[in-house]
Amino acid sequence: MWLYLVALVGLWTLLRFFRERQVVSHLQDKHVFITGCDSGFGNLLARQLDRRGIRVLAACLTEKGAEELRSKTSDRLETVILDVTKTESIVAATQWVKERVGNRGLWGLVNNAGISIPLGPSQWMNKQNFASMLDVNLLGMIEVTLSMLPLVRKARGRVVNVSSIMGRVSFGGGGYCISKYGVEAFSDSLRRELSYFGVKVAIIEPGFFLTGMVNSARLSSNTQMLWDQTSSEIREIYGKKYLASYLKNLNELDQRCNKDLSVVTDCMEHALTACHPRTRYSAGWDAKLFYLPLSYMPTFLVDALLYWTSMKPEKAL
């Protein structure tokens, strides 16, 4: 009995290994549009795909970011300025992409643009703090996707959405986890809807990586600003010990993050170039061995684990 089970698992593993290494043909003729290419995952992916000969259309927030990217890539790569929170910017970028892809359509759309601040306990924030996060990480991604979908559908291509392990397990305040849970939900519904048109949708769920978004000094400064803007009542409830401990954790974040961004961009590249891409990619050992299993545990166990390992307000002690 056990021998048959081992043989079945082995056969399934070999089949999956073979399927995942089948590559789409004529990649050099395909266009991929990537948002958030000023730095981090988007910047590295743009350079990675360019080296592979794919026609990259890179969207940057700033002209400086676009210039720096062009200086490190071939003439095939083209850049456009895009602010995903502005409808007119998205419409202009979509027209720009349409002029370049023509009747071939857009093979790949990578929704990578995102922000990580404001970061802090939810009670330190107001509605606008949540809205500013959702505008970029979720609503901007949705609007870019809807605008580009006719081009992707024409090519029967791919949509790759960058989520996070914090879209699986919520253990921080503010809008970041909310936005990433939204990315997961939107991607799942979109995948099922677009399967009728031959379009595949993949979700990238990175663990903690050292990118421009994860910058200890910037995160700490933002959190301190939130603290300074809260009411005296909230500051008294949480206490200075809580703030000091929170800032200490942020300042140590750089040491705990994975510096090898290619772990994530390799997942993105596979989602764009494999004949049989995965539905989800958990990038990083922390995502695979801790956060992903945690997301399947009973809620009361997750709550207890995070409660005893998290910081607590002084008045609650």
CA separation for the pair 162, 141 (Å, rounded) = 10
- Tell me the C-alpha distance between 240 and 314, whole Å: 8
Q: 61 lies in a domain?
A: yes
Q: Which residue has the tokens 């990580």?
A: 116
Tokens 């210039």 belong to which residue? 67
Residue 59 placed within a domain: yes
Amino acid found at 300: F
Residues 6+ away with beta carbon under 8 Å from 59: 33, 34, 35, 36, 37, 79, 80, 81, 82, 93, 113
Residue 17 lies in a domain: no
Q: Tell me, what CATH number does 72's domain have?
A: 3.40.50.720
Catalytic-role residue among 176, 181, 242, 246: 176
- 232 is a domain residue: no
249-285 residue pLDDT tens: 888 877 888 899 999 999 999 999 999 999 999 999 9
Cβ neighbours for 23, distance < 8 A, ≥ 6 positions apart? 273, 274, 275
CA 25 to chain centroid, in Å, comes to: 27
In total, how many domains does the chain have?
1
**Nearest alpha carbon to residue 119 among 21, 9, 241, 249:** 249
Q: Under a CB-based contact definition with an 8 Å cutoff, are residues 127 and 228 in contact?
A: no
Nearest to 209 by CA among 68, 21, 39, 37: 39
Domain extent, residue 143, equals: 25-212+259-307
- Known active-site residue 281: no
- Mean pLDDT in order along the chain per 10 residues (317 residues): 72 73 87 96 96 96 95 95 97 97 95 91 93 96 98 97 94 90 97 96 94 78 90 91 88 84 96 95 93 92 85 64
